[in-house]
Structure 1
């Protein structure tokens, strides 16, 4: 379970009286696939970073159950050290999560299909290579909840299909918290939804109801 209590988050350059998230309260118990909709700048990515522990609120408290393993955002490569190789980055992340280092290295090396680039410093690698490693690393560790900031996979069509198939396999034994503007994707993947409105979460019992609110905000009229 992840509990967010009275969370407020602002960033430099944004008016103090208009925080990204404002006194937000939410409980994610890991029993449903949650989809959160919001427009550009609404706070979707901020929410995911807070849930992952990659960022901290200005005020409030986030409590994560010790028996629930929560992922970092799917395919996110921002935590990689650029002067370390892909192999060493995978080894380091595996240690952080208490996962088997050798098994993670084997999985990522085989899944990413990047050959010798796996042992080069990431600063020498293309964004595509780094994204392949990041996506593979997201799948190498078994999580109870996967955090998803949109759904993206790089590479050719065959590789993208393999990524989505592997992620679907992981989801048989886990739940997701997904933030997105992609209504079609979030409708397909999530069962309960919310919309970020003025720094708060507006909850709905069904994903369809959340989508209706989101589309009403955007002024989308169905005929």
Structure 2
């Protein structure tokens, strides 16, 4: 279970405070896979990072009673001065995973070759994403956070990611951001619509998609 309790999140843009969420409260139940829907720039990725604990709300709290992944493909949490292998081992120790098993699985999956033993600060964004996805697949989470993960790597690597993710999705819940309705339908059975700082939960993914489409036909509020 994940619960947002009166959460407010904002940022400054051109000297004006913009609100991603205002006093938002929401409960995401276990056993449901949820698609996060909203306009471009509405704050969907920010919400994912807050659920992961990578970003804090300005006000309110997020209560987590599940083992939650970081957003798949997000490598911003890695320490640049450490090698890919050292970062993977660090994550393994945090989550109680055997370090040798972690390294072997990451080596095979990420296909980074000798770069796995090089500092992450030398990695391209794509290499960081490969490492992050491989490490994520080596840990069993209750909930996987997904932010447009299909954008990672070439076609062959995308296919491998899709197969690995499908296997994980059969055993765990998902909270997913995607601009593709077909992808949302494939993986999710419920939805949350983020609009003008408000979060609305829909127990049926088709109703969530319909609400999002209706919002998209309305002008954006200043």
- Is TM-score (shorter-chain normalized) higher than 0.5? yes
TM-score, structure 2 as length reference: 0.92
Name the counterpart of 2:165: 167
Displacement of 1:138: 1.2
Unaligned runs of 5+ in 2: none
8 Å contact from structure 1 (residues 108, 136) kept in 2: yes
- Asked if residue 106 in structure 1 is aligned to residue 135 in structure 2, the reply is no
Displacement of 1:126: 2.6
**Alignment match of 1:90 (pick from 88, 92, 96):** 88
Q: Residues 36-94 of structure 1: CA distance to partner in whole angstroms, max 9, x if unpaired?
A: 101112110111011001111111111112xx211000111011111211001111122
Displacement of 1:123: 1.9
Deviates more, 1:142-151 or 1:153-162: 153-162
Indicate how the Cα distance of structure 1 residues 179 and 93 shifts in structure 2: closer, same or farther if over 3 A, else same.
same
Aligned residue pairs total 217
Q: Residues 106-126 of structure 1: CA distance to partner in whole angstroms, max 9, x if unpaired?
A: 110111112111001122223
Name the counterpart of 1:55: 55
SS at match of 1:20: strand
SS at match of 2:91: helix
SS at match of 2:211: helix
SS at match of 1:11: strand
Name the counterpart of 1:210: 208
Displacement of 1:98: 2.5
- Asked if residue 178 in structure 1 is aligned to residue 210 in structure 2, the reply is no
Q: Residues 136-188 of structure 1: CA distance to partner in whole angstroms, max 9, x if unpaired?
A: 11111010100111232533322211110011011111010112322221122
Unaligned runs of 5+ in 1: none
8 Å contact from structure 2 (residues 26, 201) kept in 1: no
Name the counterpart of 1:37: 37
Distance in 2, Cα, partners of 1:155 & 1:52: 23
Distance in 2, Cα, partners of 1:105 & 1:157: 24
- Asked if residue 72 in structure 1 is aligned to residue 70 in structure 2, the reply is yes
More strand by share: 2
Indicate how the Cα distance of structure 1 residues 125 and 203 shifts in structure 2: closer, same or farther if over 3 A, else same.
closer
8 Å contact from structure 1 (residues 44, 180) kept in 2: no
